[in-house]
Amino acid sequence: MLRAEIIVAVSVAYLGLLFVVAFYADRRAAAGRSLINNATVYALSLAVYETAWALYGNVGGAAATGVGFLGLYLGPVLMLALGWPVLRRIMRVSRRHRVTSLADFVSARYGKSAVLGGLVTIIAVVGIAPYISLQLKAVSDTFEIIRRYPEITAASEMGQVPLLQDTGLYAALLLAAFTILFGTRHLDTAERHEGLVAAVAFESVVKLAALLAVGVFVTFWMFRGFDDLFSRAAQADLTQLFTLHGHTSYGTWVWVIVLSMLSIVLLPRQWQVTFVENVDEKHLKRAMWLFPLYLLANTFFVLPLAAGGLLRLGGATDADTYVLALPIAEGQQALALFVFIGGLSAATAMIAVETIALSTMVSNSLVMPLLLRSRSRLARRDDLSGLVLGIRRTTIVLILLLGYAYFRLAGEGRALTSFGLVSFAAVAQFAPAILGGLFWKGGTRLGVLVGLVAGFVMWAYTLLLPSFAESGLLPASFLREGPLGIELLRPQRLFGLSGMDPVSHAMFWSALVNIGGYVAVSLAGRPNVAERAQAVQFVDILAEPARERRWQAHATVGALQTMLERFLGREGAERALRAYPGTRPDSPEAEAPPELVHHAEAQLSGSVGAASARLVVDAVVGQEPVRTDEVMEMIGEASQRVELVRRRLEFLYDATSSIGTTLDVIRTAEELTQAAVPGFADYATVDLPEAVVRGDEPGMNGGGTGGTGPRMQRTAVSGIRDETPFFPIGDLITYTPSSPPARSIETGRAILVPRLRDSPGWQEVDRVRASHILDHGVHSLITAPLRARGVLLGVVNFWRSEKTEPFEQDDLSLAAELAAHAAVSLDNARRYTREHGMAVALQRSLLPRTLPEQHAVEVAYRYLPAQEGVGGDWFDVIPLSGARVALVMGDVVGHGLHAAATMGRLRTAVHSFSSLDPPPHELLGHLDELVTRTDQEAVAAGGETSITGVTCLYAIYDSVTHRCAIARAGHPAPALARPDGTVEFLDVPSGLPLGIGGLPFESVELHLPEGSRLVLFTDGLVERRDQDIDTGLRILRETLARAEQTPEETCDAVLDALLPPVQSDDIALLVARTRVLGSEQVAQWDIESDPAAVRRVRAAVSTLLAEWELETLQDTTELILSELITNAMRHGVGPIKVRLLRDHTLTCEVYDRSLTSPHLRYAATMDEGGRGLFLVAQLTARWGTRYTKDGKVIWAEQTTPEAPGD
């Protein structure tokens, strides 16, 4: 007799062995040499399908219906053949979406619906409970049988035992403990249990071995092979072993095949081992034939065993226990124990896997969503992994107790097989939702909800309730007469449908309402966006992966990590984040990219289910889970992109419109740095070669920088703080060739340095400063070349310190764009600086630098070029013969180089004309002709610019006569400030500007008292945009009336009073204070036309020069005068007049009435005359002729040894 203690000891020892196997597998997995990464182990693990129910009950079934039981195995065989097209899809979906249970799958497929997940969970738990009770029954019954060895006890004889003596209860509790230890030691994001799978595979071998051993023993030991066995059976007229017809309808047969096809996929434990625990989808290929082969071997001896049992034990013993009873009957104690262990093996494997799968579903799809939704205090704990494990462990115990309760209440007296089919029919309800969802995109959440509820209700009504009725829990009349006697509602004859066995009947109705509800409701409505998105993901799973993304997700990396830690624990969260394939921002404050959020959700959904994970992540990223979510998904990637581009364009627009407001290089560089801060960078610096700052060509294109690298001047610095660690403005920096700015110049591209700390090239430039900058928190740099019109002008550096995220590749283009825009402005400023400088230089070179020495007037002048550029104003003071001086003031219309050049030409022309000493109006006439001719030439040559419109004023002051002749061509009239303080604007005919032609100019002659100030100016002085010209003139008049007497002081006073704040036109101002040549310095004689007069004049001159202390000039003066007088007598017309002026020179003048101009001749050797003017030219500094109103004057100047009166 086998003592109970021995049986228990062996059983516990066996369970211990399983632990060892599992432990070993876990160790191997941790070492990276997974034991279950093997197709054979995978196929064996699928054999969890073969339960204790199958081990014992199959023989019972075969004893009653022959091969009828085989339908349960043919279905899986066929389904596995379809494994590649169907199962692999589920496998892919599960892996990609981290689906870890059936409920999760349904929920995820239909828009991550928490309701569906919960519903599937409830159906699964209720549907599977009978199945679990079956295992408990098998274990407790066989324990009782083997305990009473060698008696053979019929199960029916065992009857009811008190609860506390029932082995079933202890079996349930033992298995619960076993499962908890096996499956819920820690949380794994993939819900994989390597040790458990290894143990299951091991158990599969044990139960196969047990069954084969008993089969061989019965067939070949107790009988003499198959022939003997079956011929005896035939003789005993056991016809049920040979055929189906007569006891099993073909309808049932087909339904059983179909049900088992679905069950091999949809039973929670099969789902667990097939999809969740699968390591490599290639393993499926071997399992497709290896698993059917295993089933073949497993069932091969079932019919012979049934035949043997019937022949040897007959109907007295429960056929469900033949497998155990036969060895017992033959006294094979060890074999019986082995079979018991095999049965225990099958039961533990099934219960462990099934309850783990169910507990995962309950915790992930039912309890957690409820907790999270209700915002329970539990769900707000910091570490939720303990909570999840607790829920799972509790669930395992509860499920086993539920199974036990079912076993206690309904389990007695029913054949094991029919029990199992109830569960099969329950899980078959998932088929439309799952298989339909795999191949049809049109299914909706509502359709599934309606179909599942309807199918489940129908299942419960037509299968579950009848099973209660048969067990006596419900009155038998419920079955026979229908509820409340309504015949139409009889559970097994619903709506009068008869002629079918209960399973076919139930399957027909439940499939009808389930599939019908699913399809009809789905077609009536439309899948919403989330459902459609998931449908595409699931149905097209074999195509290339499309990424499901969250767009408006804003969460920091730290927040995600905290969230993961709450569910997975610290280590689990670390693992999950490490698994992220992209680059993870290293700072916890950094915003998590959408991919990372998605990754976190996927990892989490492995542990708590898709629906819960979505809720949790939604909470963290602050995303509304409802409507807005749809809208956002609809708007999708495109709008996100558009928004990003729009923001960048906006920034670029704002930035570029604030750059280039002036034509100043340095100002433009400053504007560039200011535009980039703080929108784009925390600091920005600009470096330009010194030449660029001056406006010259930079001369540093590309590689022409030599070995030392470019040398540049820090031109602008801007930052979020005033104090910056960078090179200060004005420093000259030599960039080493490997530094980012040098490389950027070399390549002409923007260079990204995401981590300055890792850039040795940058640090090389100045190590001390580099470490200073790094200490300042600056961590990231983009250097962009400033390139415009093919010329490299310098570099701009953008730095980040406060913004924690480094610059990215995307920022490069923005930086380059900004730099390119700024470079054009910089180049404009540079070119302007250069041209402006050139024009100013030109104009200054054209204007008089120092005024010539003369004593007729005392002058002061001012010239102020316009801010916008050079202008065409000019002025001149030209000494004339006879102690006279010419004052010129002119204005060429317009500004710029052209005006300056024209001015230069006209000034030269005025100089040339004045040497002929014509009266002012005549000089202006010549000038007018010149301008007209030049214009015509310019027009003929195709030039577009004319110089027409030049104004000019020309005045000649004679310091002997105190008279001043003035003519003007459109120029403002000069002001005259008399010594007595009166001021007037001289009434000189205005005349037309030069180049217009028309009326001749007119000179006005007036007398100027000594010390009068003649003020000449251009319109720039008195004309202003905001002010009437009369106002300007009035101010000028008042200023002159007040001003001090000297010309310098007058100039200062006038400019003080009249200089506008913004000078739009250039200004020229000339103040001349008249002097008088005193009568003691002038001598004059009238000469009669008599040669003797010459002698008299020579005598008088001799006396005068002695008086003037100019004796040294006596001889030459006498000689000059006698030559000139003789000439006048010989060629001219009387009367003749001689005048001597003693100024800074000694001037001799001879007047006559003739208009013939003398000219210098080189006399031939033998000529008697003709040597006079030649002599004069030799003896004087200057000589010349000028015409007066009534004749001409020939004059000659000699330099005096010293100025008079000095």
Partner 1 sequence: MARSRDDERLAGRLAAVGALGFVLVVPPLLAQFDRMDRVFGVPLLWAYLYLVWAIVIGLVAIVGARSK
Closest CA to 507 of 789, 724, 256, 849: 256
Residues whose CB falls within 8 Å of the CB of residue 347, separated by 6 or more in sequence, listed in order: 51, 52, 135, 136, 138, 139, 171, 175
Q: Do the bridges between strand 884-895 and strand 1136-1142 make them parallel or antiparallel, or are there none, so unpaired?
A: unpaired
User: How near is the Cβ of 229 to partner 1 at its closest, in Å?
Assistant: 8
Residues within window 518-557 making contact with partner 1, judged by CB under 8 A: 542
Site string for partner 1, 256-285 (x = CB under 8 A): -x---------------------------x
User: Residue 1170: CA atoms inside 13 Å, Cβ hemisphere, count?
Assistant: 8
Select the span of 241-249, 751-759, 972-980, 1164-1172 touching partner 1 (CB under 8 A): 241-249
CB-nearer residue toward partner 1: 284 or 336: 284
CB-nearer residue toward partner 1: 421 or 815: 421
Return d(Cα 521, Cα 511) in angstroms, integer: 15
CB-nearer residue toward partner 1: 225 or 678: 225
Residue whose entry in the numeric block shows the structure tokens 């190590």: 767
Identify any residues that bridge with 683 across adjacent strands, giving them in sequence order: 719, 799
User: How near is the Cβ of 81 to partner 1 at its closest, in Å?
Assistant: 4
User: How near is the Cβ of 558 to partner 1 at its closest, in Å?
Assistant: 41
User: How near is the Cβ of 221 to partner 1 at its closest, in Å?
Assistant: 17
Task: Based on the shown chain and the rule CB under 8 A, indicate whether residue 362 belongs to the binding site for partner 1.
Answer: no
Return d(Cα 821, Cα 818) in angstroms, integer: 5
3-state secondary structure of 958: strand
Residues 267, 434 contacting (CB under 8 angstroms)? no
Residues 642, 635 contacting (CB under 8 angstroms)? no
CB-nearer residue toward partner 1: 294 or 461: 294
- Interacting residue with partner 1 among 13, 163, 239, 748 (CB under 8 A): 239
User: Residue 966: CA atoms inside 13 Å, Cβ hemisphere, count?
Assistant: 27
CB-nearer residue toward partner 1: 62 or 1016: 62
CB-nearer residue toward partner 1: 73 or 105: 73
Select the span of 46-54, 231-239, 482-490, 527-535 touching partner 1 (CB under 8 A): 231-239
Total residues contacting partner 1 by CB under 8 A comes to: 40
| Structure-token pair, residue 276 | 């969740």
- Interacting residue with partner 1 among 16, 150, 225, 485 (CB under 8 A): 225
| Cis before 741? omega within 30 | no
3-state secondary structure of 1078: coil
User: How near is the Cβ of 300 to partner 1 at its closest, in Å?
Assistant: 7
Long-range contacts of 238-245 (CB under 8 A, 24+ apart): 238/307, 238/310, 238/311, 240/63, 240/64, 240/65, 240/66, 241/62, 241/63, 241/66, 241/303, 241/306, 241/307, 241/310, 242/66, 243/66, 244/65, 244/66, 244/67, 244/68
- Interacting residue with partner 1 among 4, 78, 897, 996 (CB under 8 A): 78
Task: Based on the shown chain and the rule CB under 8 A, indicate whether residue 227 belongs to the binding site for partner 1.
Answer: yes
Return d(Cα 863, Cα 983) in angstroms, integer: 23
- Interacting residue with partner 1 among 31, 165, 235, 250 (CB under 8 A): 250
Select the span of 17-25, 63-71, 781-789, 875-883 touching partner 1 (CB under 8 A): 63-71
Task: Based on the shown chain and the rule CB under 8 A, indicate whether residue 719 belongs to the binding site for partner 1.
Answer: no
User: How near is the Cβ of 65 to partner 1 at its closest, in Å?
Assistant: 12
User: How near is the Cβ of 74 to partner 1 at its closest, in Å?
Assistant: 5
Residue whose entry in the numeric block shows the structure tokens 């211990």: 16
**End-to-end Cα distance, the chain:** 160
User: How near is the Cβ of 299 to partner 1 at its closest, in Å?
Assistant: 9
- Interacting residue with partner 1 among 21, 46, 63, 74 (CB under 8 A): 74
Return d(Cα 570, Cα 186) in angstroms, integer: 12
Select the span of 102-110, 226-234, 552-560, 828-836 touching partner 1 (CB under 8 A): 226-234
User: How near is the Cβ of 41 to partner 1 at its closest, in Å?
Assistant: 18
CB-nearer residue toward partner 1: 243 or 1084: 243
- Interacting residue with partner 1 among 80, 600, 672, 829 (CB under 8 A): 80
Count CB atoms within 10 A of the CB of residue 798: 26
Count CB atoms within 10 A of the CB of residue 674: 15
CB-nearer residue toward partner 1: 78 or 820: 78
| Phi, then psi, of 986 in degrees rounded to 5 | -65, 140
User: Residue 1100: CA atoms inside 13 Å, Cβ hemisphere, count?
Assistant: 16
User: How near is the Cβ of 72 to partner 1 at its closest, in Å?
Assistant: 12
User: How near is the Cβ of 131 to partner 1 at its closest, in Å?
Assistant: 24
- Interacting residue with partner 1 among 230, 508, 985, 1085 (CB under 8 A): 230
- Interacting residue with partner 1 among 20, 23, 27, 85 (CB under 8 A): 85
Task: Based on the shown chain and the rule CB under 8 A, indicate whether residue 236 belongs to the binding site for partner 1.
Answer: no
Concatenating the DSSP letter of every residue in 996-1023 gives S--SPP--EEEE--TT-EEEEE-HHHH-
User: How near is the Cβ of 812 to partner 1 at its closest, in Å?
Assistant: 35
| Structure-token pair, residue 36 | 């279950």
Residues within window 1049-1108 making contact with partner 1, judged by CB under 8 A: none
CB-nearer residue toward partner 1: 240 or 348: 240
CB-nearer residue toward partner 1: 227 or 944: 227
User: How near is the Cβ of 27 to partner 1 at its closest, in Å?
Assistant: 32
Residues 884, 902 contacting (CB under 8 angstroms)? no
Residues 483, 469 contacting (CB under 8 angstroms)? no
User: How near is the Cβ of 366 to partner 1 at its closest, in Å?
Assistant: 35
User: How near is the Cβ of 514 to partner 1 at its closest, in Å?
Assistant: 21
Residues within window 285-324 making contact with partner 1, judged by CB under 8 A: 285-286, 288-289, 292-293, 296, 300, 303
Return d(Cα 284, Cα 328) in angstroms, integer: 40
Residues in the chain: 1206
Select the span of 174-182, 253-261, 781-789, 1097-1105 touching partner 1 (CB under 8 A): 253-261
Return d(Cα 1038, Cα 1053) in angstroms, integer: 11
Select the span of 122-130, 247-255, 328-336, 374-382 touching partner 1 (CB under 8 A): 247-255
User: How near is the Cβ of 169 to partner 1 at its closest, in Å?
Assistant: 39
Residues 112, 614 contacting (CB under 8 angstroms)? yes
Residues 218, 209 contacting (CB under 8 angstroms)? no
User: How near is the Cβ of 323 to partner 1 at its closest, in Å?
Assistant: 18
CB-nearer residue toward partner 1: 65 or 763: 65
Select the span of 167-175, 234-242, 824-832, 1024-1032 touching partner 1 (CB under 8 A): 234-242
Task: Based on the shown chain and the rule CB under 8 A, indicate whether residue 242 belongs to the binding site for partner 1.
Answer: yes
Task: Based on the shown chain and the rule CB under 8 A, indicate whether residue 70 belongs to the binding site for partner 1.
Answer: yes
Return d(Cα 88, Cα 282) in angstroms, integer: 9
User: How near is the Cβ of 224 to partner 1 at its closest, in Å?
Assistant: 10
- Interacting residue with partner 1 among 9, 236, 254, 473 (CB under 8 A): 254
CA–CA distances in Å: residue 59 to residues 136, 301, 322, 636, 1107: 18, 9, 7, 59, 166
CB-nearer residue toward partner 1: 244 or 1082: 244
What does the binding site for partner 1 look like in residue numbers (CB under 8 A)? 66-67, 70, 74, 77-85, 225-228, 230-231, 234, 239, 241-245, 250, 253-254, 257, 285-286, 288-289, 292-293, 296, 300, 303, 542
